[in-house]
Amino acid sequence: MAPPLSRRSLLQAAALAAATPAVSLAATGRAAAAVQEATPVAAAPSSWTVQPFALDDVALRPGIFADKRQLMLDHARGYDVNRLLQVFRANAGLSTGGAVAPGGWEGLDGEANGNLRGHYTGHFLTMLSQAYAGTGEQVFVDKIRTMVGALTDVREALRKDPAVLSVGGKFGTAVENVRGSYQYVDLPAAVLQGASAITLSAWVKPAHDGNWARVFDFGNDNTRYMYLAARNAGGVPRFAITTSGPGGEQALNGTTALPLHQWSHLAVTIAGGTGTLYVNGTAVARNTAMSLTPAALGALANNWLGRSNFSTDPVFAGAYDEFNVWSRALNAAEIGQLQNSRAADASAGHGDLASYAFDETRGGTFADASGRGLTATLRRTWGAPSHPGFLAAYPETQFIELESRTTPDYTKVWAPYYTAHKILRGLLDAYAATDDDRALDLASGMCDWMYSRLSRLPESTLQRMWGIFSSGEFGGIVEAICDLHTITGKAEHLALAKLFDLDRLIDACAANTDILDGLHANQHIPIFTGYVRLYDETGEERYLTSAKHFWDMVVPHRMYGIGGTSTQEFWKARDVIAGTISATTAETCCAYNMLKLSRTLFFHEQDPKYMDYYERALYNQVLGSKQDKPDAEKPLVTYFIGLTPGHVRDYTPKQGTTCCEGTGMESATKYQDSVYFAKSDGSALYVNLYSPSTLTWAEKGVTVTQTTAYPREQSSTLTFGGGRASFTLRLRVPSWATAGFRVTVNGGAVSGTPRPGSYFSVSRTWRAGDTVRVTMPFRTRVEKALDDPSLQTLFHGPVNLVARDSATEYLKVGLYRDAGLSGDLSASLKPVSGKPLHFTLDGREWAPFFEGTEDPTHAYFRRSEPKVVFGGRDAGVANPAKTDGTTLLDEVWAGAPFRNKGALVARVRSTVDAWVAAGLLSRADGDKVVSTAGAASYQP
């Protein structure tokens, strides 16, 4: 049976039936072994016993998912992708067309100097690809092709030496060094010629206000140099010359800052012990005790425009026009003439030591008009990529420095392979969506480049790198590389995937040893999705076993009620929930990646727990992380979802370009990805989620349309269309569905007893017009924090309910007083007319967590049952508690559901007897409790 998947799902893309290529690169033992053993893989992993449908096989119908998606689609349609491409084009020295980077983590001015820039572009490509698959709208394809074309140009530029970026100048053309390009002009060593008197003159148009960026710097090191900085620490121009380092500088300081994006003329003269700094023809500083001249510096190795001899100083960003050097000090009148004409047209004439007009419009060199033939060369501070496949929005130095780094410091190195993963994933998704071979070529080249770097490193270096917090984070790159391997069949790509093995983590989890305490959560969750894919490619059991055990260490042991995990991005001790609640709880990326892992594990083992978790996290945290309002500039997705009392969600954290906004964009355009799965042999269809949607199962020639307002409705109807097909329909029975789960086919009840936390099977030959009706009454229940039973969160069916209240202390809530025989707590809640899933309790409104509002909310509350009350009848007895916080009423209602009132009273009597015997309750009070329970009336 052919898999039920289209080419737009990379996980199912057909592998090329090519022979395993030879390997020409030196490799570690692990990489070499993988290369030798690799063989092309089949269209879909044979280890998958079920398979997903492609996004374009499942259409969302009106409902909460479609509403949330529409907000993100509008954002995707309107956002200018050139803003995302700005950092890539700048890195390659290409024109950015005036585009402004998004800010936050995307751009040089963002956190940690923008060391994560480029990641957001990958997310955006994935979002656009998913949006196209889900809607078929051409606008998304057009944006994808714009981005892929630009990235192709960027890689081509990075492969070559830097080229002149010609722009309008003061007198004609000028050369621009885009901020982020790390480009500078390298002048020949003889440029100063040991002059004892000198004038240096330049027109500059600064594009950034960073301090200490050099207009020019001539020197050997940090001891002997002569520079002119556009801004010193005080923000004004500064000239300095020294033969003994910073402490010996003889200097000239300006009085006002140079304006940005405007041409300014700077000139420095030194002669006869006097130095003068001119700005726009006016002398702004004079030093009559300047004994040093270029002659005192001797021969200098580094003669640069735009680059500093201090490596931590920024590169000058902006444009240059007319740089001249004379072997004499021009007078004020001559300096004044330079304000209105080229040097060649002024009385000073060309600089006799060096003269560059920057009239070049191509190439990478600048002609010298001084007559000395001192051709200057445009260079990058970091040289050139180590491999032609390199593609990034920052220099390769991030990757190089990681190889020797032993401690975390994200201001120096911030997860370069994580960023590479996002770009790689985006390119693969773009290829799957559009068949644009350029995207595949870029993706394949990136992996060729990574293999060329990593395969040369010792195993110990790799293990150290991947264990470093943040700097060594590589996200889900293994999954993406394995997906690429299914397309290319290149042995190097499979070998590359194995180079990301973090053995300490794999081995511990494979042995079911929990070592998660203290780990950065989102650094490790996506690793395991990749390892499951490595199992698919290699058959190595430790990958799959470790992933299964890892999942069990998170769910439920480190899971909040909404499905999220982590606090301040990290995991604390196992089973500590109440003790970790904070304003920075439940990083949204963690939920995104736990969904991916749950889904991938389900492909191998159809344990309902994976889809129970999927529903929990999707219908609560993921939906609730997206704000319910439009925005053209930002996706409006939370980073953290604080679970502290009265927390107000922040939908624009860190200017809106964090990892969580990125994954949030992806989540909102793939809500349909796990509604249905098919048995790999085509014998069964799994209905995992009750979501309004239409499935087109082309291989079976049928459609399945699911009509429901779930979770605002407690039922769903599936209608079959197309031709006849025989298969088993497997309907998920949620673990919370303890009030019943009823299935009818064409109006007739289906025999069998659906069990909560399982799949209920209906086998038949399906025909057009067949209808399946699923009814699952919701019950209201609480879930207790594992480390504090009194701290609880409220659920109505699958929906987490939050109290809307500005109080910053945990609310005290009682729920037993009206509990029914089933144990259902719904009687305590009063529905709000016209607002589905909204209730009032003790005068407070409770609403679904998934509503993306800015109301202060309480996801957890303090359970308070001070008195023993049954069916609204007060026994007049205080509700006693054990030392662990468990109360008498807790133990009574733990026996629910009760088949009738007599069973409930019997439970009350036996519990009372035990508490009396333990000295926790007096006999007289115990008799009152039993009597009240017997006299009360109960709903079912």
CATH at 360: 2.60.120.200
Pairing of strands 812-813, 861-863: parallel
Helix (H, G, I), strand (E, B) or coil at 677: strand
* Residue 402, beta-bridge partner list: none
User: So what's the pLDDT on residue 113?
Assistant: 86
- The whole-number average pLDDT for the span 199-223 is 96
Quick one: pLDDT band at residue 940, thresholds 50, 70, 90?
confident
- The whole-number average pLDDT for the span 670-695 is 98
Rounded distance between C-alpha atoms, residue 893 and residue 445, angstroms: 62
Would residue 787 count as lying in a domain? no
Rounded distance between C-alpha atoms, residue 414 and residue 395, angstroms: 13
Cβ-Cβ contacts under 8 Å for 340 (sequence gap 6 or more): none
Rounded distance between C-alpha atoms, residue 849 and residue 854, angstroms: 11
Number of domains in the chain: 3
The kind and range of the H/E element at 166 are: strand 166-168
Q: What is the pLDDT of residues 27-81, one digit of tens each?
A: 444 554 444 443 333 357 999 999 999 999 999 999 999 999 999 999 999 999 9
Say whether the peptide bond before residue 711 is cis (omega within 30 degrees of 0).
yes
- The whole-number average pLDDT for the span 821-837 is 94
The kind and range of the H/E element at 749 are: strand 748-749
User: Rounded to the nearest 5°, which phi and psi values hold at 205?
Assistant: -130, 85
Q: Whole-prediction pTM value? A: 0.94
Would residue 535 count as lying in a domain? yes
Q: Are residues 374 and 441 in the same domain?
A: no
Final residue in a domain of this structure, among 380, 413, 443: 380
Would residue 273 count as lying in a domain? yes
User: So what's the pLDDT on residue 22?
Assistant: 32
Rounded distance between C-alpha atoms, residue 915 and residue 919, angstroms: 6
User: So what's the pLDDT on residue 855?
Assistant: 98
User: So what's the pLDDT on residue 655?
Assistant: 81
Question: How much of the chain exceeds pLDDT 90, in percent?
Answer: 93
Q: Are residues 519 and 395 in the same domain?
A: yes
Would residue 643 count as lying in a domain? yes
Rounded distance between C-alpha atoms, residue 374 and residue 366, angstroms: 9
Task: Return the structure tokens found at 255.
Answer: 């009085």
- The whole-number average pLDDT for the span 737-746 is 96
Rounded distance between C-alpha atoms, residue 330 and residue 180, angstroms: 35
Rounded distance between C-alpha atoms, residue 331 and residue 344, angstroms: 16
Q: What is the pLDDT of residues 69-94, one digit of tens each?
A: 999 999 999 999 999 999 999 999 99
Q: Is the C-alpha dihedral spanning 346, 347, 349, 353 positive or negative? A: negative
For residue 26, pLDDT over 70 is answered with: no
| DSSP secondary structure code for residue 97 in this structure | T
Helix (H, G, I), strand (E, B) or coil at 279: strand
Final residue in a domain of this structure, among 617, 641, 667: 667
Quick one: pLDDT band at residue 1, thresholds 50, 70, 90?
very low
User: So what's the pLDDT on residue 43?
Assistant: 54
Q: What is the pLDDT of residues 427-483, one digit of tens each?
A: 999 999 999 999 999 999 999 999 999 999 999 999 999 999 999 999 999 999 999
Rounded distance between C-alpha atoms, residue 362 and residue 166, angstroms: 7
Q: Are residues 148 and 268 in the same domain?
A: no
Q: Are residues 289 and 425 in the same domain?
A: no
Q: What is the CA radius of gyration of the chain?
A: 34
Q: What is the pLDDT of residues 588-616, one digit of tens each?
A: 999 999 999 999 999 999 999 999 999 99
Helix (H, G, I), strand (E, B) or coil at 304: strand
Rounded distance between C-alpha atoms, residue 518 and residue 504, angstroms: 14
* Residue 206, beta-bridge partner list: 318
Q: Are residues 486 and 612 in the same domain?
A: yes
Task: Return the structure tokens found at 636.
Answer: 């409006």
For residue 709, pLDDT over 80 is answered with: yes
- The whole-number average pLDDT for the span 182-207 is 97
Rounded distance between C-alpha atoms, residue 443 and residue 447, angstroms: 7
Q: Are residues 561 and 637 in the same domain?
A: yes
Q: Are residues 217 and 352 in the same domain?
A: yes
Helix (H, G, I), strand (E, B) or coil at 678: strand
**Among 4-8, 318-322, 346-350, 727-731, which stretch is predicted with the lowest mean pLDDT?**
4-8
Q: Are residues 537 and 563 in the same domain?
A: yes
Q: Are residues 548 and 630 in the same domain?
A: yes
User: So what's the pLDDT on residue 483?
Assistant: 97
- Residue 450, domain CATH: 1.50.10.20
Would residue 110 count as lying in a domain? yes
User: So what's the pLDDT on residue 11?
Assistant: 41
- The whole-number average pLDDT for the span 127-154 is 98
**Among 13-22, 275-284, 765-774, 824-833, which stretch is predicted with the lowest mean pLDDT?**
13-22
| Average pLDDT of the chain, as a whole number | 94
CA 806 remoteness from chain centre = 30
User: So what's the pLDDT on residue 788?
Assistant: 93
Quick one: pLDDT band at residue 9, thresholds 50, 70, 90?
very low
Q: Are residues 370 and 392 in the same domain?
A: no
For residue 24, pLDDT over 80 is answered with: no
Q: Are residues 443 and 372 in the same domain?
A: no
Cβ-Cβ contacts under 8 Å for 715 (sequence gap 6 or more): 708, 773, 774, 775, 776
Contact of 115 with 54, CB cutoff 8 Å: no
Would residue 600 count as lying in a domain? yes
Q: What is the pLDDT of residues 338-349, one digit of tens each?
A: 999 999 999 999
Rounded distance between C-alpha atoms, residue 481 and residue 443, angstroms: 9
Q: Are residues 436 and 373 in the same domain?
A: no
Helix (H, G, I), strand (E, B) or coil at 857: strand
Would residue 2 count as lying in a domain? no
* Residue 166, beta-bridge partner list: 175
Rounded distance between C-alpha atoms, residue 354 and residue 548, angstroms: 68
- The whole-number average pLDDT for the span 144-148 is 98
Would residue 860 count as lying in a domain? no
For residue 246, pLDDT over 60 is answered with: yes
User: So what's the pLDDT on residue 884?
Assistant: 85
Q: What is the pLDDT of residues 268-313, one digit of tens each?
A: 999 999 999 999 999 999 999 999 999 999 999 999 999 999 999 9
Rounded distance between C-alpha atoms, residue 147 and residue 140, angstroms: 11
Final residue in a domain of this structure, among 632, 667, 702: 667
Task: Return the structure tokens found at 34.
Answer: 């993988």
Residue 924 lies in domain: 872-940
For residue 326, pLDDT over 90 is answered with: yes
E strand map for 386-518 = none
Cβ-Cβ contacts under 8 Å for 495 (sequence gap 6 or more): 23, 27, 30, 31, 32, 34, 35, 38, 451, 455
